[in-house]
Amino acid sequence: MGKTSTFTRDWAQIYAIYGIEQKHTLFFLVLNAIAFSLLSAVFFIYFNPICVFVESFLLSNAAAARFSAGFFGAVTALSAVCLFYAAGNFFYSAVPLRYEMAQRMVGSVGDWSSVKTALDLGCGRGVLLNAVATQLKKTGSSGRVVGLDRSMSTTLSTLRTAHIEGVQEYVTCREGDVRRLPFSDNYFDVVVSAVFLHTVGKEYGQKTVEAAAERTRVLGEAVRVLKPGGVGVVWDLVHVPEYVRRLQELRMEEIRVSKRVTAFMVKSHMVSFKKPSQHFVGCGEVRLDWR
């Protein structure tokens, strides 16, 4: 899906600039992992007294007591390992992976020198937004990238990160509804979005028809505001096949799907496409890119 930039920045440097969203989730995972670790340690250290205690409830059946104590001890230890892994994957996905994928998404667009307007749907704290702005700056473009988010407080935070990254002159942030984009048809040269579309319609439940309709509506809006010949790049969780079908229905060209990347403990893919320069009949061809 195009050349990717080399990932050279330090994790701590990225974290210092962007922090981490949903800290409460990471805290919950780590806290539970520690709790299960302590519980499994108790089973290991005090195994014999626990067996005696359990045996008193099992009518002096020593074998059953030892099996029960061993089983619950093993379960708590395995739970601790799984929770630590989940916490590590969450941190990796929220900080360094998000940054690395932003570089890959930027690399999916062939010619940034001709880009005058770009849009980031669900810009969050600005990891992808600033990557686009940095690319515009590198190419000497006079273009700008607009970050759209549903929260005014988030857009203010995004502007702060853009200032830290030194690309504030290339960035504009707006509060708005992604279901009804406040932009005219054929306005942007590039539209991007990172791990955002799956959150649209979540009030209906992720697997409901209503939620799917909301997600495809947003994708349709992204196509509407994209200029003929413009490029769209979406990195998202779980629902990528649904996006591909919608892009085919909208007759997009050069639809490419990246290799699976595990993010936030689920599968994710990056999808890129091009809006045809003129209307044509037939669905776009889907090509898998394993680079």
User: Percentage of the chain surpassing pLDDT 90?
Assistant: 55
Statement to judge: residues 170 and 126 lie in one domain: yes
Is residue 102 within 8 A of residue 131, CB to CB? The reply is: yes
pLDDT band at residue 9 under the 50/70/90 scheme: low
Please state the domain count of the chain. Answer: 2
47 and 112 in a single domain? The answer is no
Same domain, 121 and 147: yes
Considering 50, 66, 92, which residue would you say is the last residue of a domain?
92
Residue 129 lies in a domain: yes
Same-domain check for residues 111 and 155 = yes
Examine the domain organization and report whether 114 and 60 are in the same domain.
no
pLDDT value of position 284 = 44
Mean pLDDT of the chain: 86
Mean pLDDT over residues 152-158, rounded? 79
Residue-range definition of the domain harbouring residue 246: 101-275
Residues of the chain above pLDDT 70, percent:
91
Based on the domain organization, do 159 and 24 belong to the same domain?
no
Q: Is residue 284 part of a domain?
A: no
Question: Is 281 a residue whose pLDDT tops 50?
Answer: no
User: 41 φ, ψ to 5°?
Assistant: -65, -40
- Rounded distance between C-alpha atoms, residue 161 and residue 231, angstroms: 25
The neighbouring-strand residues paired with 194 are 235
State yes or no: pLDDT of 285 exceeds 50.
no
For residues 38 and 76, the answer to whether their CB atoms sit within 8 Å is no
CA 130 – CA 166 distance, rounded (Å): 9
How would you classify the pairing of strands 253-258 and 171-175?
unpaired
pLDDT digits (tens, 9 = 90+) for 200-238: 988 888 788 999 999 999 999 999 999 999 999 999 998
Could you tell me the pLDDT band of residue 61, with boundaries at 50, 70 and 90? confident
Q: Find residue 146's DSSP bridge partners.
A: 119, 172
